[in-house]
Amino acid sequence: MKTIEINGHLREALGSKSAKELRREGHVPCVVYGGGENVHFHADERDLNKLVYTPDVFLINITLGDKKVQAVLREAQYHPVSDKTLHMDFIEVVPGKAVALKLPVALAGNSIGVKNGGVLRRNAKALYVKGVVDTLPDTITIDISKMKIGSTIKVGDVSIPGVEMLEAANRVVVAVKTSRKAIADEEAEEAAEGAEGAAEGAAEGDAASEESTEG
Q: Which domain holds residue 84?
A: 2-94
Domain check: are 121 and 39 in the same one?
Answer: no
Domain check: are 48 and 106 in the same one?
Answer: no
Instruction: State residue 75's pLDDT score.
Output: 87
Domain check: are 12 and 67 in the same one?
Answer: yes
Domain check: are 60 and 132 in the same one?
Answer: no
Instruction: State residue 195's pLDDT score.
Output: 56
Q: What is the CATH number of the domain that holds 87?
A: 2.40.240.10
Please identify every stretch of the chain with a pLDDT value under 70, giving residue numbers as ranges.
Answer: 180-215
Q: How far is CA 211 from the centre of its chain?
A: 68
Domain check: are 9 and 79 in the same one?
Answer: yes
Instruction: State residue 185's pLDDT score.
Output: 54
The last residue of a domain, from among 46, 68, 94: 94
Backbone angles phi, psi at 86, to 5 degrees: -95, -35
Tell me how far apart the alpha carbons of residues 111 and 149 are, in angstroms, rounded to a whole number: 9
Closest-CA residue to 124 (of 165, 75, 182): 165
Instruction: State residue 178's pLDDT score.
Output: 86
Q: What is the CATH number of the domain that holds 128?
A: 2.170.120.20
Domain check: are 22 and 77 in the same one?
Answer: yes
User: Per-residue DSSP letters for 7-66?
Assistant: EEEE-S--SHHHHHHHHHTTEEEEEEESSSS-EEEEEEHHHHHHHHSSS--EEEEEEETT
Closest-CA residue to 57 (of 164, 124, 129): 129
Tell me how far apart the alpha carbons of residues 164 and 46 are, in angstroms, rounded to a whole number: 33
Distances (CA, A) of 81 to 29, 46, 87, 133, 155: 19, 19, 15, 34, 32
Instruction: State residue 79's pLDDT score.
Output: 86
pTM attached to this predicted model: 0.71
Decide: 8 and 41 in contact? Cβ < 8 Å: yes
- Alpha-helical (H) ranges within the chain are 16-24, 45-52, 112-115, 180-214
